């Protein structure tokens, strides 16, 4: 028998809220399956007659295709664009003025525009045999100059990724609020700052198993996807099929982070292939495909000037941001979401009277860029927080002081910042003060004066950010991309034996939604979470949803579950009143039963009555019964704003370039937390990814557009020994606009660490005249900067 | 990432293995622990016609002290050494090196002979064993020959192994009571290949020093008489006498043009010298 989850919660987590509802540190239900290796991923799907696909991919970044030669013996097992008659290319258009459209053929036609682009599809009983066939196919390619550097790509005369555009810019945007007001500021700091191109690296890669059901006249696509309903819409567009003819099933998913938020050309290809061949087909992304062929993220460049007064007060920011969007616009987020977002989110939680930002989304011969956990926020936080440390140095102030001087204050909430972002609630200065106290900034300054006996240098760094989450219709309608989130729906159904089934269109790929949504339902209905089942990841079984992205699922699906459960509870209450022979106005639903003055009746008995003894129902019973679908939007859909202050202490060896993180503090405010244990997990995971961004991860390209980190020996991901045991502190400022006051927190952990750690490294090395403005901060970059500073000092002397 | 087709044999004794290698005319690859060859096969970087799995050869698993040297069969794993299952004549030096090779999972399967044969410049044994003055025995059907490690490693992923030849054993001389051992490496993260590596065996009583700078783009720099790195002679105060400029010049001569890279190598070597003197 399973132990009562509430008892276990209270025993293991005595500091969480008691019970199983909102606020309880409940261990995750799904871990019983996932942690025992019993999860069912796309790679675990077994279908009779299944065959494997391997793709012939472009070895060149930019080339004209003159021929694809298939050996005679493999004709019939190899398919090219010429075979895919009637299949449309992937088009992700943005409605922003000036956006240039790219068409991504699912198999290359005419040109290849990135290494790894799909050229031909090879089918065989096993993947190894399919790879043998793929290696026998030869390509006749005429190499073209590669567009590999986004800044050079903007210059006239550059080679062109899409010739008919006339340049390489997907989109340019301009935003200004009276920058002239800042120009006379006494402090003016200008720098170039950049973040490396990264790969998102979920444990499970992408994967597709496609099959066609003739009885249902339905294509079924099993895909490791965050947004199955959006995948279905995109597939229908490319395949020219009705949406009802397509079912997308996304089973257990081993991490998404945005990588699984797009329509893949592979998904379109395999859908076509199974209909052509009449048997199930499979493609599983391998790690090399993930690294070089699929999608990248994060490559930003900033030319930024910050204006400030002598007391550290911000006067304005002037920025030109460029993002390397890769060769194609991805469905549905488009190629410009990342760069254009920079303009609106760069000022973050700071007050300033003047602002200007110009952005460029640049096409290059690299794989498409996708929004990765934190999306553009990690880059803008890195850029702005590094600049604020320079302002602090100019003003002779502690970095923390400069933040406290400029952060929006709690009494100003709700607050509209200079880009009209609407901050719903929060006390940002308090988070920063707590972080500074926890890291003990005074003790570090004293220690720095003494120096270290081992030759290393100690530094401390802070950063703070805001994370807009669950932003809805009013925000996304302006982007004009293929997807605009509206009301989020949930279905709630009591089963005849009193269990509860919840169906939601969002997905869970590490977020613990099977637990947290059950907690929300428990909060409303009192049903034991052990008796609540969550159905997700299947277009045939769940209400439409744009899916899981943008830290929206707890706010949106949680709100929808609460709304549906309230309606379900109301219907149950009315049936309960009849069974108790009470006036409905005199009974209440509490702890899983309907209570009146003379007794109570359980939800289980009420469910039994509806399904098995309808003769006992009241004559005016709601014929909808005990199954409810309801939609939900927050009171305002401009998004919740969670935030956190991060503080890091590092030790840097200036001669070898090694960085050790000695201490790490996070003070986080995500509003009301449905499950603080799950939130802690989110933060730790995000921190690991942030450490990857700042110290390890980089996908370099050579001048011919070749990606150079083709295995995990070259593309370094942080492991357990690289991630410190961070100290977490929670604040709780409820959102005024959402159910229970929850806010989205899924991405925040990954946003602030690069800035905090880079600031700490720079704090350690500043006395040597060293400044690092580029991620990742590698040993080589540190030592090169130290040597350059020493040489500069010698030549000055 | 699946290998191209290959034939597979698992011989029962060394002679059978050598016969298979001889018959293959260079189209065979030997697999032992498979920690490097496995990924290379999957990436199709190597596409041998035949894989000869030598993991069943009992004669290559022996480890014994013979006279003043330790003879380790090629199939001794890093974990065997780390855990002390093999004898030691280096007063813990080899155990310390073994314990920091990659990850435990790699050490469980990876072998000392495989590591040497693969000749990855960033690997530990090719540098550590060169500093310790070890030799390697190579065997083919034609007979056996013995080379110093520094003669065996010719370049990046390049050894003196001829077609039909196999690493049979490693001979490690005993470290003298007055021999100071220092070993340092810098890795981007735990378990990753080193990007700088220094190994030193310094004996002030004998006024001798062997110094190795590894994890460069080619074979490690092995200085068998390293007095020049310590101002011309090896004395008890060698730590203070370490000449970073001379080490830097060695690296420049080896073709390492990047000053920051050279600086990291020299700093790591300095750390090894400090460890030896501690």
Rg (CA), chain B: 19
**CA A240 and chain centroid, separation:** 29
What pLDDT is stored for residue A632 in this prediction?
A: 97
Query: Are the Cβ atoms of A719 and B190 closer than 8 angstroms?
Result: yes
Domain segments of chain A as ranges:
201-294, 377-469+640-796, 487-632
- A578: pLDDT confidence band, cut at 50, 70 and 90? very high
* Mean pLDDT computed over every residue of chain A: 96
* Distance (Å, whole) CA A153 – CA A361: 11
Tell me which residue of A341, A261, A238 sits closest to A546, measured CA to CA: A261
Best of B105, B184, B189, B247 to disrupt the A interface (most A CBs within 10 Å) is B189
Q: What is the pTM of this model?
A: 0.96
Average pLDDT over residues A465-483: 92
What pLDDT is stored for residue A18 in this prediction?
A: 82
pLDDT in tens, A312-337: 999 999 999 999 999 999 999 999 99
State whether the Cα torsion A572-A578-A579-A581 is positive or negative: positive
Say what percent of chain A tops pLDDT 70. 98
Query: Are the Cβ atoms of A131 and B2 closer than 8 angstroms?
Result: yes
CATH code reported for the domain at A201-294:
3.30.365.10
CATH number for B58-173 (one of 3.40.605.10, 3.30.465.10, 3.55.50.30, 1.10.287.890): it is 3.30.465.10
* Mean pLDDT computed over every residue of chain B: 97
Query: Are the Cβ atoms of A716 and B188 closer than 8 angstroms?
Result: yes
Average pLDDT over residues A552-570: 97
* Distance (Å, whole) CA A200 – CA A294: 10
- B121: pLDDT confidence band, cut at 50, 70 and 90? very high
- Using alpha carbons only, give the angle A669, A296, A51 rounded to the nearest 5 degrees: 115
* Chain A residues with a Cβ under 8 Å from any Cβ in chain B: 126-128, 131-132, 135, 286-288, 653, 655-658, 696, 711, 713, 716, 718-719, 721-722, 778-780, 783-784, 787
Task: List phi, psi (to 5°) of B6.
Answer: -150, 155
**Largest Cα–Cα separation, chain B:** 58
Q: E strand or H helix at A403, and its extent? A: helix A399-406
Query: Are the Cβ atoms of A287 and B1 closer than 8 angstroms?
Result: yes
* Distance (Å, whole) CA A75 – CA A70: 6
CB-count burial class (<10 Å; 0-12, 13-18, 19+) for A28: buried
Best of A779, A782, A787, A791 to disrupt the B interface (most B CBs within 10 Å) is A779
Average pLDDT over residues B237-263: 97
Fold classified for B181-277: Enolase-like; domain 1 (3.30.390)
The nearest CA of chain B is from the CA of A445 a distance in Å of 27
Query: Are the Cβ atoms of A288 and B271 closer than 8 angstroms?
Result: no
What pLDDT is stored for residue A133 in this prediction?
A: 98
Domain segments of chain B as ranges:
7-53, 58-173, 181-277
CATH code reported for the domain at A377-469+640-796:
3.30.365.10
* Chain B residues with a Cβ under 8 Å from any Cβ in chain A: 1-5, 39, 43-44, 186, 188-193, 195-196, 258-261, 263-264, 267-268, 270-271
Which chain B residue is nearest to residue A786, measuring alpha carbons?
Answer: B260
CATH code reported for the domain at B7-53:
3.30.43.10
- Kindly list the distances between the CA atom of residue A227 and the CA atoms of A234, A284, A475, A678, A725, in Å, as whole numbers in the listed order: 11, 18, 19, 21, 32
**Which residues, 6 or more positions from B236, have their beta carbon under 8 angstroms from its beta carbon?**
B204
- B104: pLDDT confidence band, cut at 50, 70 and 90? very high
Q: Could you give the dihedral angle defined by the CA atoms of residues A216, A217, A219 and A220, in that order, rounded to the nearest 10 degrees?
A: 10
pLDDT in tens, A375-432: 999 999 999 999 999 999 999 999 999 999 999 999 999 999 999 999 999 999 999 9
Which residue in the set B4, B191, B264 is minimally distant from A779, CB to CB?
A: B264
Are A212 and A221 a contacting pair, CB within 8 Å?
no
Average pLDDT over residues B167-178: 97
What pLDDT is stored for residue A7 in this prediction?
A: 57
CB-count burial class (<10 Å; 0-12, 13-18, 19+) for A175: middle
Which chain B residue is nearest to residue A785, measuring alpha carbons?
Answer: B260
Average pLDDT over residues A303-307: 98
Chains A–B, number of C-beta pairs less than 8 Å apart: 65
Q: Detail the DSSP E strand segments found in chain B.
A: 7-9, 28-31, 50-53, 63-66, 69-73, 135-140, 143-148, 153-155, 158-159, 166-173, 180-187, 194-203, 208-214, 221-223
* Distance (Å, whole) CA A777 – CA A386: 13
Q: Which two tokens stand for residue A448?
A: 């720095």
What pLDDT is stored for residue A1 in this prediction?
A: 39
pLDDT in tens, A655-675: 999 999 999 999 999 999 999
The nearest CA of chain B is from the CA of A129 a distance in Å of 8
pLDDT in tens, A537-549: 999 999 999 999 9
pLDDT in tens, A113-125: 999 999 999 999 9
pLDDT in tens, A161-213: 999 999 999 999 999 999 999 999 999 999 999 999 999 999 999 999 999 99
The yes/no answer on whether domain A487-632 falls in CATH 3.30.1490.20 is no
Give buried/exposed letters for B102-112 (b at 16+ CB in 10 A, else e). Answer: beeebbebbbb
Query: Are the Cβ atoms of A655 and B195 closer than 8 angstroms?
Result: no
Question: Of A14-18, A399-403, A704-708, B174-178, which range is least confident?
Answer: A14-18
* Distance (Å, whole) CA A760 – CA A106: 45
What pLDDT is stored for residue A6 in this prediction?
A: 57
Residue matched to tokens 């982007």: A479
């Amino acid at each position: 028998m399973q132990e009562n989850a509430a008892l276990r919660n209270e025993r293991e987590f005595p500091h969480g809220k008691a019970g199983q509802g909102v606020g309880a540190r409940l261990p995750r239900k799904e871990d019983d399956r996932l942690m025992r290796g019993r999860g069912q991923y796309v790679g675990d799907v077994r279908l009779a007659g299944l065959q494997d696909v391997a793709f012939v991919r472009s070895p060149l970044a930019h080339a004209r295709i003159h021929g694809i030669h298939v050996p005679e013996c493999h004709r019939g097992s190899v398919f090219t664009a010429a075979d895919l008659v009637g299949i449309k290319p992937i088009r992700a258009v943005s409605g922003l003025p000036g956006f240039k459209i790219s068409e991504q053929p699912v198999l290359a036609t005419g040109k290849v525009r990135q290494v790894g682009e799909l050229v031909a599809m090879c089918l065989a009983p096993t993947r190894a045999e399919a790879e043998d066939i793929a290696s026998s196919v030869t390509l006749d390619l005429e190499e073209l100059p590669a567009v590999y550097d986004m800044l050079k790509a903007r210059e006239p005369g550059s080679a062109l990724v899409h010739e008919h555009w006339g340049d390489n810019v997907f989109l340019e945007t301009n935003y200004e609020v009276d920058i002239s007001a800042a120009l006379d500021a006494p402090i003016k700091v200008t720098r170039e700052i950049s973040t490396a191109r990264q790969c998102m690296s979920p444990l499970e890669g992408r994967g597709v198993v496609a099959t066609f059901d003739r009885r249902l006249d339905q294509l079924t696509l099993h895909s490791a996807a965050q947004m199955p309903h959006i995948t279905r819409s995109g597939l229908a567009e490319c395949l020219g099929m009705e949406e009802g003819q397509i079912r997308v099933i996304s089973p257990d998913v081993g991490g998404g982070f945005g990588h699984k938020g797009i329509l893949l050309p592979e998904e379109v290809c395999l859908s076509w292939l199974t209909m052509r061949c009449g048997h199930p087909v499979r493609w599983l992304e391998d790690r090399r495909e993930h690294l070089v062929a699929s999608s990248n993220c994060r490559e930003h460049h900033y030319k930024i000037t910050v204006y400030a007064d002598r007391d550290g007060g911000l006067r304005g920011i002037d920025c030109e941001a460029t993002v390397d969007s890769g060769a194609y616009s991805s469905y549905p987020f488009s190629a410009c979401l990342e760069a254009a977002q920079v303009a609106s989110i760069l000022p973050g939680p700071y007050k300033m009277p003047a602002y200007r930002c110009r952005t460029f989304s640049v096409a290059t011969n690299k794989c498409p860029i996708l929004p990765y956990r934190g999306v553009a926020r990690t880059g803008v936080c890195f850029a702005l927080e590094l600049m604020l440390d320079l302002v602090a140095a100019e003003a002779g102030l502690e970095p923390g002081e400069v933040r406290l001087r400029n952060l929006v204050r709690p009494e100003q909430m709700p607050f509209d910042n200079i880009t009209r972002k609407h901050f719903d609630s929060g006390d940002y200065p308090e988070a920063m003060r707590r972080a500074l106290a926890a890291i003990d900034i005074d003790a570090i300054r004293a220690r720095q004066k003494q120096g270290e006996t081992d030759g290393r240098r100690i530094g401390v760094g802070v950063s703070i950010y805001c994370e807009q989450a669950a932003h809805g219709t009013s925000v996304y309608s302006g982007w004009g991309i293929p997807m605009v989130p509206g009301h989020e729906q949930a279905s709630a159904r009591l089963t005849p034996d009193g269990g509860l089934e919840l169906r939601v269109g969002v997905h869970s790929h590490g977020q613990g939604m099977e637990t947290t949504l059950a907690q929300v339902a428990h909060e409303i209905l009192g049903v034991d979470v052990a008796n609540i089942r969550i159905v997700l990841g299947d277009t045939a079984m769940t209400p439409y949803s744009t899916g899981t992205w943008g830290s929206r699922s707890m706010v949106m699906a949680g709100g929808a579950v609460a709304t549906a459960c309230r309606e379900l509870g109301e219907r149950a209450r009315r049936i309960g009143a009849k069974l108790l022979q009470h006036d409905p106005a005199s009974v209440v639903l509490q702890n899983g039963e309907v209570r009146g003055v003379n007794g109570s009746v359980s939800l289980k008995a009420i469910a039994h009555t509806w399904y098995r003894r309808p003769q006992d129902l009241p004559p005016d019973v709601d014929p909808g019964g005990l199954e409810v679908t309801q939609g939900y939007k927050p009171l305002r859909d401009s998004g919740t704003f969670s935030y956190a202050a991060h503080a890091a202490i590092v030790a840097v060896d200036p001669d070898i370039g090694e960085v050790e993180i000695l201490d790490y503090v996070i003070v986080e405010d995500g509003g009301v937390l449905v499950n603080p244990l799950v939130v802690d997990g989110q933060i730790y995971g995000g921190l690991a990814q942030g450490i990857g961004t700042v110290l390890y991860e980089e996908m370099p390209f050579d001048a011919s557009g070749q990606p150079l980190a083709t295995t995990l020996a070259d593309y370094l991901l942080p492991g357990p020994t690289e991630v410190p045991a961070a100290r977490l502190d929670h604040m709780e400022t409820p959102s005024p606009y959402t159910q229970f006051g929850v806010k989205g927190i899924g991405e925040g952990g990954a946003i602030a660490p690069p800035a905090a750690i880079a600031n700490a490294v720079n704090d350690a090395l500043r006395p040597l005249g060293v400044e690092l403005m580029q991620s990742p901060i590698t040993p080589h970059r540190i030592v090169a900067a130290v040597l350059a500073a020493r040489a500069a000092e010698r030549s000055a002397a | 990432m699946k290998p191209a087709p290959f034939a597979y044999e698992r011989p029962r004794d060394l002679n059978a293995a050598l016969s298979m290698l001889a018959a293959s005319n260079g189209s065979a690859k030997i697999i032992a622990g498979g920690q490097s060859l496995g990924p290379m096969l999957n990436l199709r970087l190597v596409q041998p016609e035949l894989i000869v799995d030598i993991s069943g050869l009992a004669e290559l698993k022996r480890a014994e002290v013979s006279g003043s040297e330790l003879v380790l069969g090629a199939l001794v794993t890093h974990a065997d050494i780390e855990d002390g299952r093999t004898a030691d004549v280096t007063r813990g030096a080899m155990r310390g090196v073994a314990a920091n090779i990659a990850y435990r999972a790699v050490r469980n399967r990876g072998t000392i002979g495989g590591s040497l044969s693969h000749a990855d410049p960033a690997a530990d044994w090719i540098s550590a064993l060169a500093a310790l003055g070890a030799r390697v025995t190579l065997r083919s059907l034609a007979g056996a020959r013995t080379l110093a490690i520094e003669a065996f490693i010719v370049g990046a992923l390049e050894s003196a192994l001829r077609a039909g030849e196999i690493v049979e054993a490693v001979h490690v001389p005993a470290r003298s009571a007055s021999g100071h051992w220092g070993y340092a490496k810098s890795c981007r993260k735990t378990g990753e290949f080193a990007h700088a590596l220094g190994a030193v065996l310094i004996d002030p009583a004998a006024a001798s020093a062997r110094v190795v700078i590894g994890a460069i783009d080619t074979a490690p720099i092995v200085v068998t008489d390293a007095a020049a790195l310590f101002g011309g002679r090896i004395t008890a105060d060698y730590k203070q006498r370490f000449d970073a400029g001379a080490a830097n010049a060695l690296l420049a001569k080896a073709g390492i043009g990047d000053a920051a890279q050279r600086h990291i190598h020299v700093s790591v070597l300095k750390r090894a010298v400090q460890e030896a003197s501690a």
